[in-house]
Amino acid sequence: MKTKILVTGGTGYIGSHTAVELIQQGFEVVIADNLSNSFEWIVDRIQQITGVRPQFYNADLTQLDQTKKIFQENPDIKGVIHFAAIKAVGESVKKPLLYYQNNINGLLNLLQVMNEYQCKCFVFSSSCTVYGQPDVLPVNEISPILPPLSPYGNTKQISEQIIQFQSDVTTLQSVILRYFNPIGAHESGLIGELPIGVPNNLIPFITQTAIGKREVLNVFGNDYQTPDGTCIRDYIHVTDIAKAHIIALERLLQEKIETQIEVFNLGTGKGYSVLDVIHAFEKVSHQNVNYKFVPRRDGDIEQIWADTTLANQKLGWKARLSLEDMVSSAWNWEQKIQDL
């Protein structure tokens, strides 16, 4: 019998890549997604890559009855990897209640139903935004959790606290993965980042500008205290991120965790500026990107990158793919989705 795992947000960007890795490692995958920022045909692509079709629920976790139905029909779910959340920093500043209602209520319902069905293995998709604008770089897992700069970042902080308090009084065991900036696409070119509407993230905006979907790429701010004036982030290939989730899940299933909750940073440990990424993309794609500088965006952190020592040592995980690999795979994906 294959071990059954629920992947919430499983047709989304990181969720779909993780579903692929799970299936390829021999797990049975159940996907739940409300398709607010993804498409059901992603399930077809997952099947195309793996040869296995995951079970799919068009479900909204903020609705308790829909969350319960998944477990009622799959009482043998042994673990949950929770991606289902909305995640645009800028949008969260403009629509804070939407972010609290979606990201917090969905988590509450999920943890409640998991407890009812005695499902205790939980991998949570968190974010480096919980660190706010750090005073010391790189950040490690014991760096201070500073006041959030956006409602999105705050929902991740609150979610981590909820998981901690629930773990104190139940059998819940969790691995919280704080990842930095996932980019890139699957090597097959069949799945990748596909935002609905105007992208909020850098890479799809770069690729859509290069291919002609967008007239110009707005670079938010060139007056930061960084070498070239643009924001610095720790960009990491989405496949490296997905593989870390499998390792974290297996750590839980094999009862190897050392405390009720373990927290790991996922990044490359290197910081790249917005201009670094644009220039790397231009180099590998042989395309010129039309960009212009515009004022800073509310909620953006100036610079952040990870200390990944703990994940390297405890999980035995390390990011393998380079920035060039990341932007090259993203460009391959962009070229293949023109007919969608």
Give every CB contact of residue 279 below 8 A, 6+ residues apart in sequence: none
Q: Are 104 and 155 in contact (CB under 8 A)?
A: yes
* 235 given a catalytic annotation: no
Rounded to whole angstroms, the Cα distance separating 119 from 159 reads 18
Give me 44's structure tokens.
Answer: 């077809």
Q: Can you tell me whether residue 61 is helix, strand or coil?
A: coil
Q: Which amino acid is at 250?
A: E
| Closest C-alpha among 240, 248, 246, 301 to residue 267 | 240
Q: Which amino acid is at 286?
A: H
Kindly report the number of other CB atoms within 10 A of residue 26's CB atom: 9
| Closest C-alpha among 249, 125, 117 to residue 171 | 117
Rounded to whole angstroms, the Cα distance separating 7 from 2 reads 15
The active-site residue out of 152, 179, 224, 235 is 152
Q: Running DSSP on this structure, what letter comes out for residue 170?
A: S
- Gap between the terminal Cα atoms of the chain: 37
Q: Which residues are catalytic?
A: 152
